[in-house]
Structure formats: structure tokens, C-alpha cells
Amino acid sequence: MNAPAIGRPDNESRRQFLRVGFLGALALTTVSATAVLSGCSSPPSAKGFHLFRESDLKVLRALVPVVLAGALPAGDGSAIEEAIHSLDDFIFGTSLASHKQIGQLFDLLSMPATRYTIVGLSNDWDKSSAAEISAFLGRWQTSRFQMLRAGYMGLTQMINMGWYLQPRSWAAINYIPPRVVA
């Protein structure tokens, strides 16, 4: 009885694998070095905010009306800003690790390359329609990738929390705060 012949690995496919790995590592190194050398440090927070930067505010101002559709008072633009300020105040009281993770999420959402490839928006946030933003949220909610589903949950829960922490939203959910005994 003859043993089955074990084929030798194809040298061309091995070379191709090494070439792709090398080019991928080179690309990642180049992007990282460019970010460091170009001063790609986190910009300061926007005026009147503890943590949120101008780019974060652009994302939030587009997301809040879509996530809270039907919950915000009609025609009241100040409700969006109140929800964002409330969220900023809440997150500011959390750990530095949370600040960093939330900053990374907003970086992912606001950078043009990742906004197009991962989020699926070709236009900037302030130029995207509610339907496009809703479609993005739907894609992340049902994604086969756990990281995108977690991003969806984090975004929508943060935004909901920012609105429902405010006393003026409590009547809509029939919440009666506990009485304070003096």
C-alpha cells in the first residue's frame, strides 16, 4: 500500500502571502507615522463642552434627531443641544478609559476615509440626510461584525441617555421623580 503523497507548498502562493503581509505592515506603519508626524493629536474640546470636539458635535448633531425621532419636541432645536450637553456632562464624570474609547468611536465616525468605508456615508455628517443616517444605523445594528453592533448599541444608548437624563423628557415616559423631603 502506498501512502498518499504530501504535496509541497506552492512557493508562489507563499511569496504572495509574504508580499501581502509585508505591504499591509508597511501601509499600517506609514499611516501611523503620518498621523504622529502630522500632529494628528486629539484637538481640544469645543467651547462650552468638557469632552466633545467640534468633529464630535457634527456627528452628534446629525445622529441625535435620527436616533430620537419622535421623542424630541417638534420644532425645538434646543432639545438637540440640551441632549448633547447632558451627554457631555455625564461622560465627563466617567473614567479616562471611557473618554478614550468614546473619542476613538467619534474619530472613526468623523474621519472621511472611515466615514465612507465603515460608516457608508459619502457626504459629511451635516450634509447627510436622515434616511442615509438611518440606513447607516440599520447596517451597524444588523452587521455580522460584533464590533459594529457594539458601536450601534453604544451610540444609540448614549444618545438616549443624554436625552432621558433631562427632567423635561420625563413626562413623555411617565417618569415621576422621587419627592425630596426637606
Mean pLDDT of 20-39: 55
Reported confidence tier of residue 90, pLDDT bands at 50, 70, 90: very high
- Alpha carbon of 95 to those of 16, 98, 99: distances in Å? 45, 5, 7
- Rounded to an integer, what distance in angstroms lies between the CA atom of residue 33 and that of residue 40? 10
Would you state the pLDDT for residue 172? 83
Would you state the pLDDT for residue 46? 86
**What's the whole-model pTM score?**
0.73
Would you state the pLDDT for residue 125? 94
Reported confidence tier of residue 28, pLDDT bands at 50, 70, 90: low
Would you state the pLDDT for residue 83? 93
Mean pLDDT of 143-155: 92
Kindly report, residue by residue over 91-112, the tens digit of the pLDDT: 999 999 999 989 989 998 988 8
Reported confidence tier of residue 40, pLDDT bands at 50, 70, 90: low
Reported confidence tier of residue 50, pLDDT bands at 50, 70, 90: very high
- Rounded to an integer, what distance in angstroms lies between the CA atom of residue 163 and that of residue 48? 18
Q: Is 161 exposed, middle or buried (0-12, 13-18, 19+ CB in 10 A)?
A: middle
Would you state the pLDDT for residue 76? 77
